Amino acid sequence: MAVNFKGPFRLSAAIGSRMAAGDGGSIINISSIGSIRPLPAYAPYAGAKAALNALTTAHAVEFAPKVRVNAILPGSFRTDIARHWPADKEATTDAVVGRFGEPEEIVTTALYLASNASGFTTGATVRVDGGRP
């Protein structure tokens, strides 16, 4: 809870208030597909990320109209943590693209949300999960 919810909450509350009083901006929370597709093996993590999704919606309203607040919900990506997963885990992924994501595949979503191109996007949770059912 401290890392996955309390930290982002405190930062978003402090920075969002300053941004709203100033020139505005964009806050991007990193949630997880697990927040909407929880499994018993990681229920506390999923709960913290679900709380982060709710915070995203609430802060989008609180800091509007100058600050946009959105969340990215990644699926399985090849990160440092993924190196420790079993070798056959990717073969059993339920992502319809049939593989894990590459880190650079999430960058475009973050760039969109950070840019003025997303000026009409706030309070959104954007799935970047390879089309998991």
Q: Which residues are catalytic?
A: 45
Concatenating the DSSP letter of every residue in the chain gives -IIIIIHHHHHHHHHHHHHHHTT-EEEEEE--GGGTS--GGGHHHHHHHHHHHHHHHHHHHHTTTTEEEEEEEE--B-STGGGGS-TTTGGG---TTSSPBPTHHHHHHHHHHHSGGGTT--S-EEEESSS--
